[in-house]
Structure 1
């Protein structure tokens, strides 16, 4: 089972993280197993916990990798310099969630144990995406309202997230809403207009 001499600590961490990310994409959070990751990479589950301390820390690392993947996809779309960047943000949210549903849901299904903090490196990785959203929102606000961009971004992400969850779980279909992405974008535009945005 053990291949301890085959990889450096950094290589082994990357191997486990890459395989864990693949497994999460395949089976989703409820069926995710550190033991299965260990089996796939050919190491003991104890080796995983020596590197990541716990299942919680392994999932944090996997979810943070998903945030980096999501931020890269969003940055690529924004780099095309679209005219309606807010619409691109909303579309990017829905698109990433629908194309990577298991990875996306794992971010929200995993709960951090009480008293446990998010390590700084993961906070920074996750901050790339939120920073991108804040920057785009700040651009459409009048100068005197730009100090509210961070708080407004959090609220708007929550709005889009709720619409996206309802869309992916079929709840909106039951409610008779057949254009949830358009509805989310409309709510975002209303909130930005109320804040003086253009």
Structure 2
């Protein structure tokens, strides 16, 4: 078993985060175990809490890494499919969720205790994803409607999220919807046109 002195604090944080993210991808939030993360890296559970401060901060760090990967995924989709950037955003949302279902769901399954604000360092990193969408929505709107971009983008994210969630959990299949991506894209296009 490794000793605390074997790694610097920054190395420990990276080690814990790497293993925690790997485990979250494998098991999902409901079966995630901080104790198992500690065991797999050869440290005690106390070391994890010493480095991250609490279970919630560990999960926030893992989920924030997922947000960063998701933002990179969206940027890659936009670079590949630059012609129809709105379609690329919606497709990027769906493809990231399909390719990383446990990580994607963990973002929404974990909640901070009531009254606990999101720590600023995590909030700022997570906002990067929304900022990508806001910038693309603003660019697609006429100049006189761009002030609506931020609110519209958040609403569109909610619309796409609902379609994506129903697609992944089988609800749309039960409802007879055979093209959740197409339906989400059409709702986005309708909202953009109305704006």
TM over 0.5: yes
Report the TM-score, using the length of structure 2 for normalisation.
0.98
Which residue of structure 2 aligns with residue 135 of structure 1?
135
Which secondary structure state, in structure 2, belongs to the residue aligned with residue 31 of structure 1? coil
Between the aligned partners of 1:76 and 1:84, the Cα distance in structure 2 is 14
**Residue 150 (structure 1) aligned with residue 157 (structure 2):** no
Which residue of structure 1 aligns with residue 84 of structure 2?
84
Runs ≥4 in structure 1, deviation > 4 angstroms?
none
Q: What root-mean-square deviation, in Å, do the aligned CA atoms of Structure 1 and Structure 2 show?
A: 0.9
Contact 1:2 1:44 in 2 (8 A): no
Query: Unaligned 5+ residue runs, structure 2?
Result: none
Which residue of structure 2 aligns with residue 190 of structure 1?
190
* CA deviation after TM superposition for structure 1 residue 79, in Å: 2.2
Could you give the per-residue CA deviations for residues 129-157 of structure 1, whole angstroms, max 9, x where no partner exists? 10000000001111121111111011000
Between the aligned partners of 1:110 and 1:23, the Cα distance in structure 2 is 15
Q: Output aligned runs, 1:21-170, within 5 Å.
A: 21-80=21-80, 82-170=82-170
Between the aligned partners of 1:104 and 1:5, the Cα distance in structure 2 is 34
- Which has the larger displacement, 116-125 or 175-184? 116-125
Report the TM-score, using the length of structure 1 for normalisation.
0.96
Work out the number of aligned pairs and report it.
195
Which residue of structure 2 aligns with residue 15 of structure 1?
15
Which residue of structure 2 aligns with residue 173 of structure 1?
173
Between the aligned partners of 2:49 and 2:97, the Cα distance in structure 1 is 29
Query: Unaligned 5+ residue runs, structure 1?
Result: none
* CA deviation after TM superposition for structure 1 residue 80, in Å: 3.2
